[in-house]
Amino acid sequence: MNTRLAELLQLLDLERLETNLFRGVSRDIGSPQVFGGQVLGQALVAASRTVENRLVHSMHAYFLRRGDVNAPIVYQVERSRDGGSFTSRRVVAIQHGQPILTMSSSFHALEPGSEHQSTMPEVPAPEELADVAEVTPDILQRVPEKVRRFFEHERPFEFRHVRPPDYRKPEKREPVKQVWFRLVDRAPEDQALHRCLLAYVSDYHLLDTANLPHGQPWFELQMASIDHAIWFHRELQVDDWLLYSIDSPSRSSARGFARGSIFARDGKLVASVAQEGLIRERPGGWQGTRPPGSGT
């Protein structure tokens, strides 16, 4: 197995401290705080380990405080309800004695029913696009040291933009983005795990879509996720190409809102995502922000 994927799976393999209590560690991806997707993924792992024979179909989270990458995170699970068809869980992520995230999630026993879905946008295949990790040396020389660390960090996912961004001179354009993504290697055949992996990667690329119409260099802004929601519609494989189709219908009052549809390569809509985040126009704002495409 690829080393980067093995490290990610280890990151999501929480230590059970008690029946409803789990502990996780963090991984530095070059951002000033714990990557928001990591906390989302770990919180969903904690909730999933208290549920049998049902898969998560929705989760709603609030980011309350910045996470400290050098300290463990404790996840406390509240078993809110175990019903005939649905199971509800609430998770609080705690660090230094304070909550840094709260999450509610719902699990459903699979059952048949009528179906319809949105149509996947017509975009080039991922094989026709460049890997976003391929950042040229001249760009690396022009960005702050902490930003350079993010670009140089080896990630467990591949990202291929339909319309690659220009990090040096961002142009003003409509708040729409499409990005293909997948794990760098095959993952175990475990649908619950793949949904936790999707929660992890879903925090990439959302909030910076709300910045596209303004053409502002993201490292001069203070940006952080406020809340995050995911609805899982169908079974999915995160180790095969998925298309993240994102748009931002609003930005106001120092907040940006973005929503995303995630499609499998065959066109099936597998998940929907929504996020609101802080976007403060503050020169030198990198100290309180996150890299492009990543969450709080």
C-alpha distances in angstroms, 89 versus 71, 100, 207?
Answer: 25, 17, 27
Does a structural domain hold residue 219? yes
- Using DSSP, state whether 257 is helix, strand or coil: strand
Does a structural domain hold residue 69? yes
The catalytic residue positions are 203, 225, 275
Tokens representing 128 are: 């026709």
What is the distance between the alpha carbons of residues 59 and 146, in angstroms, rounded to a whole number? 31
90: domain range? 3-109+127-288
C-beta neighbour count of 126 within 10 angstroms: 19
What is the pLDDT confidence band of residue 289, given thresholds at 50, 70 and 90? very low
List beta partners, residue 82. Answer: 87
Summarised one tens digit per residue, pLDDT across range 117-158 is 999 999 999 999 988 665 556 666 666 665 666 566 678 999
64: which residues sit within 8 A by CB, 6+ positions away? Answer: 98, 99, 100, 101, 102
Does a structural domain hold residue 211? yes
pTM score, two decimals?
Answer: 0.90
What is the distance between the alpha carbons of residues 296 and 290, in angstroms, rounded to a whole number? 6
Summarised one tens digit per residue, pLDDT across range 202-234 is 999 999 899 999 988 777 788 889 999 999 999
- Which CATH number covers residue 10? 2.40.160.210
Total domains in the fold of the chain: 1
Burial letters 96-110, b for 16+ CB under 10 A, else e: eeeebbbbbbbbeee
Summarised one tens digit per residue, pLDDT across range 156-205 is 999 999 998 776 678 899 999 999 999 999 999 999 999 999 999 999 99
What DSSP string runs through 61-73?
EEE-S---TTS-E
What is the distance between the alpha carbons of residues 28 and 150, in angstroms, rounded to a whole number? 9
Summarised one tens digit per residue, pLDDT across range 23-64 is 999 987 766 689 999 999 999 999 999 999 999 999 999 999
- The rounded mean pLDDT for the chain is 89
Of the chain, the percentage scoring pLDDT greater than 90 comes to 74
